[in-house]
Structure 1
């Protein structure tokens, strides 16, 4: 199954969080927070303005982005968890 996001939506996959702290302490699964970093998998065509013009998104497939903590809708694509977000839920692109 494939998904193509519509309009200003973006399909992302969360980047796995570290399992150890910098000092070597192992973090148990129930204490881990959801990572805020994600990889862009697919991008919609863009946001449509009131005058009918389409504004293309600033990111592309493969970009690493920072997302809001509780944003998006979780979906499974081929057994892998992904998020579908609105353009506004992406806070920045990692360079």
Structure 2
């Protein structure tokens, strides 16, 4: 894939949620919410502070993250549905 996010942006692939409830009921696609978890595919170099110095990114490629329900901009790249979001939209890294 030939895409590099700029500044403090991150390219994320959503992680699909569970297809069944805890009780074993199958959830139809129309009732599923979009997952708020994803895997970081690519990261930008980081934003610049007032002195022009780069601010290091807290996430890296391969991190599993949690983000807000309405975070990011959906794009299709190489046939995959991905999200581009700012690092500040990421709530945390799941270990």
Q: Same fold (TM over 0.5)?
A: yes
Deviation at 1:56, TM superposition (A): 1.2
Deviation at 1:2, TM superposition (A): 1.8
Deviation at 1:49, TM superposition (A): 0.7
Larger strand proportion of the pair: 1
Q: Residue 14 of structure 2 aligns with which residue?
A: 14
Q: Residue 32 of structure 1 aligns with which residue?
A: 32
Which aligned segments of 4 or more residues in structure 1 are displaced greater than 2 angstroms?
Answer: none
Q: Residue 54 of structure 1 aligns with which residue?
A: 54
Computed over aligned residues only, the root mean square deviation of the Cα atoms, in angstroms, reads 0.8
In structure 2, stretches of 5+ residues that fail to align are none
Distance (whole Å) between structure 2 residues aligned to residue 10 and residue 46 of structure 1: 10
Deviation at 1:17, TM superposition (A): 1.0
Distance (whole Å) between structure 2 residues aligned to residue 50 and residue 72 of structure 1: 25
Distance (whole Å) between structure 2 residues aligned to residue 20 and residue 49 of structure 1: 46
Q: How many residues align?
A: 95
Q: Residue 67 of structure 2 aligns with which residue?
A: 67
Deviation at 1:50, TM superposition (A): 1.1
Distance (whole Å) between structure 2 residues aligned to residue 76 and residue 3 of structure 1: 12
